[in-house]
Chain A
Amino acid sequence: MPQPPKPVTNKPALIDGYRAPVNEQVAIWLRQMLVFVGISAIALPIAWITITAFKFPRDVYSLDTALIFTPTLENLQTVFDHPWNLGSKILNSFAVALGTVLLAIPMATMAAYAFSRFDFRFKQSIFMLVIASQFIPAAVVVLPYFLLFKQLGMLDTRSALVLINMSIVLPYAVWMMKGFIDAVPIEIEESAMVDGASRARVLWEIVVPAALPGIITAAVFSFTLTWNEFLFALIISKQDALTLPIGLIGFRTERGDLWELMAAGGILITAPMFLISLLVQKQFIQSLTAGSVR
């Protein structure tokens, strides 16, 4: 007698029923092992840098005391002292990233709204060109920017870094936010406009609140890109506008690499990003992947 069909699950073993359960268990166990290896591959380097930040130099430069050592907070203090001054670099990084986000996100929101809600000539081409601007290699852009800001007397200023980073994050932000605004139903806007609300009011009072998760996600993404940006910061900043990633390479001195201080700086540059990205993780991942999948 044929068995009644079993409910379809994503475990094939339950469907065909001929497979020896032992084989299946070995397969599951192997998969779990592989996942575990993957998790370790991500976690161990991060963990290693983290513990290095709490080591005295003598424990850093010897593998005998790799895991058993007396922890110290000294490194996390030292990096704020002269000549490292990571405090001012954190401030610069924060100011540049925040400035970039505060200027780019409103511009991107307006543009994304226009791309989402209006039909106009060359809309697709213009949209593609905006995205394509990110395909220009930084190497082409880097010389003209350097020479431009040199001419304007803006080398080593945070404003120059904000402008450059804006040009990097704006296309991504428009792309991400268009997806979110597309998903907001248009009917509420229409009825509000029939009731005589102005376009600005509709945008501010209906679209922005409805697309807020998307706006926050784009803001976090832009903040992350700017926070970690290296090449332009390396070229534009000399002393006053140095950011954290450039601060990190300062620990490569004539006396050798000061790993424990690098690790302490590494914690300072990484911890805020981990916190923010885990806070908005679900939204973040959805919008990071949606654009490529659609």
Chain B
Amino acid sequence: MRAESSQLRRLPVHWVLLAPALLFVAAMALFPLGYSLLLSFREWKLARRSSPGDFVGFSNYINLLTDDPEFFEALRVTGVFITADVLLTLVVALGAALLLQKTGRLNTLARTMLILPFVMSPALIGISFRFFLNAEYGVVHHLIGLLIPAMKDTVWLADATLSMAAIVASDVWHWAPYMTLVILGGLASIPTETQEAARIDGASGFQVFRDITWPQLLPVVAVVAVLKTVFALKAFDTIYTLTNGGPGNSTKTLAYFVYEQGFSYYDMGYAAAAAYLLTAALLVMAGFYLRLAFAKNR
């Protein structure tokens, strides 16, 4: 918007209008960033003392990177979770959006329902999945046992791989419908003329999708992938309520690891250092995706 009259532009009102929101957001973002950084160079076991302890240089970081198998396990778990979660969400959302693109009564109903999982509490979703997978009376456990007799006696949440699958499933259930809406929005903004012309010229549905729809949809898909990756790195609620990071450490992501170091072991400096490494992972990931989206785009 640059159509302001000269009168609108002369007044510095905009800073007055911006100040409350900007100052608040800046304070609430910069304070923890700075404080965490300070903490990450200190030794501070909250159980033993109530104020930050000695400056210990990089030793928290060094301990994390050289002497903590649990941290690397968390790193691996985070990688597996993000890869599976983002890919599955993308595939489900893209498929559903292409399916729901056309009008029709059933499709309208489906589109209305897409908002429901997104406004549900992730904590409740985690609890519900735990209930569904319960080995004695869980309905999903039971149904899968009927479909695949070999899995009749499987205790889902006692198995590392299946627990991870359950976490991914619950997160996809929460997010894929919303991402479907986003992709539907992207599909709606693509002009239909080229697609129709290609169809008249004899292109198959798949060819139209691959050569015309997909390239135009790619920026939206990239945005969805970035958003989902960021939220996957933040994922905590469903892990806490569904598996508690278990069995063992098999579903303990970096976010959960930080929480545990800070609030179960009260090791503030160590937790802060881990949190900063998580931020670094996030920045790398965001940069990677942005470059990917940017390179394909222009």
**Contact yes or no, B99 A137, CB < 8 A:** no
A9 to chain B minimum Cβ distance, whole angstroms, is 9
Residue contact B263 to A235, C-beta cutoff 8 Å = yes
Asked whether any CB of chain B lies closer than 8 Å to the CB of A98, the reply is no
Q: Say whether, besides A163-B28, A288-B181, A174 and B128 are in contact (CB < 8 Å).
A: no
Residues of chain B contacted by A95 (CB below 8 angstroms): none
- Select which of B25, B110, B254 is within 8 A of A139 by beta carbon: B254
Q: Is the beta-carbon distance between B255 and A293 smaller than 8 angstroms?
A: no
A167, B29: Cα distance in complex, Å: 8
**Minimum Cβ distance to chain B for residue A94 (Å):** 14
- B residues in contact with A144, CB < 8 Å: 31-32, 35-36, 39
User: What is the distance, in angstroms, from B289's C-beta to the closest C-beta of chain A?
Assistant: 12
Q: Which of B137, B182, B227, B236 meets A230, CB within 8 Å?
A: B236
Known: A145-B32, A288-B178. A34 touches B186 (CB 8 A): no
Min C-beta distance of B180 to chain A, whole Å: 9
Band of interface residues on A: 35 or more
A1 adjacent to chain B (CB < 8 Å): no
Contact between A231 and B32 (Cβ–Cβ < 8 Å)? no
Contacts of A231 in B (CB 8 A): 236-237, 259
Q: Complex Cα distance A45/B224, Å?
A: 25
Report the nearest B residue to A112, measured CB to CB: B21
Contacts of B220 in A (CB 8 A): 292-293
- A140 and B278 contact, Cβ closer than 8 Å, known pairs A12-B199, A117-B8, A119-B9: yes
A133 at the interface (CB under 8 A from B): yes
Of B22, B127, B181, most buried by chain A (CB within 10 Å of CB) is: B127
Q: Is A74 close to B, CB under 8 A?
A: no
* A113: Cβ under 8 A from any B Cβ: yes
Residues of B within 8 A of A31 (CB): 99
B292 at the interface (CB under 8 A from A): no
> B168: CB under 8 A from chain A?
no
Closest CB of chain A to B293's CB: distance in Å? 12
Provide the residues of chain A in CB contact with B186, threshold 8 Å.
289, 292-293
Q: How far is the CB of A69 from chain B (nearest CB, A)?
A: 13
Q: Contact between A292 and B223 (Cβ–Cβ < 8 Å)?
A: yes
Residue A15, interface by CB 8 Å = yes
**With a CB–CB cut-off of 8 A, which chain A residues contact B25?**
130, 133, 167, 170-171
Pair A199/B119 contact, Cβ less than 8 Å: no
CB pair B110–A39 under 8 Å, yes or no, is yes
Q: Are B185 and A293 within 8 A (Cβ)?
A: yes
Tell me the residues in window 108-124 of chain B with beta carbons closer than 8 Å to chain A beta carbons.
Answer: 109-110, 112-117, 119-124
**Contact residues in A for B255 (Cβ distance below 8 Å):** 137-139
Residue A54 is within 8 A (CB to CB) of chain B in the complex: no
For A48, A148, A274, A289, the residue with the greatest tally of chain B CB atoms inside 10 Å of its CB is A289
A143 contact from B102, B107, B224, B275, Cβ within 8 A: B275
B121 touches A230 (CB 8 A): yes
A259 interface residue per 8 A CB criterion: yes
State in angstroms the CA–CA spacing of A138 and B232 once bound together: 12
Measured CB to CB, the nearest residue on chain B to A199 is: B13
Among residues 248 to 283 in chain A, which have CB atoms less than 8 Å away from a CB atom of chain B?
248-249, 257, 259, 262-263, 266, 269-270, 273-274, 276-278, 281
Chain B hits for A248, CB < 8 A: 121, 123-124, 127, 241
Task: Across the A-B interface, give the 6 residue pairs with the lowest CB-CB distance, nearest first.
Answer: A167-B28, A289-B185, A144-B32, A111-B21, A139-B258, A118-B14
Extra A-B contacts (13), CB below 8 Å, given A63-B139, A139-B234, A143-B32: A10-B196, A12-B199, A39-B109, A42-B177, A111-B17, A130-B25, A139-B274, A139-B275, A143-B35, A163-B28, A189-B8, A193-B8, A199-B13
| 26 A/B residue pairs, CB under 8 Å, sorted by A | A12-B205, A32-B106, A46-B116, A110-B20, A110-B21, A111-B20, A116-B1, A133-B28, A137-B279, A139-B254, A139-B275, A142-B275, A144-B31, A147-B35, A148-B31, A166-B28, A189-B8, A199-B13, A228-B120, A230-B237, A248-B121, A249-B123, A273-B119, A288-B178, A289-B185, A293-B182
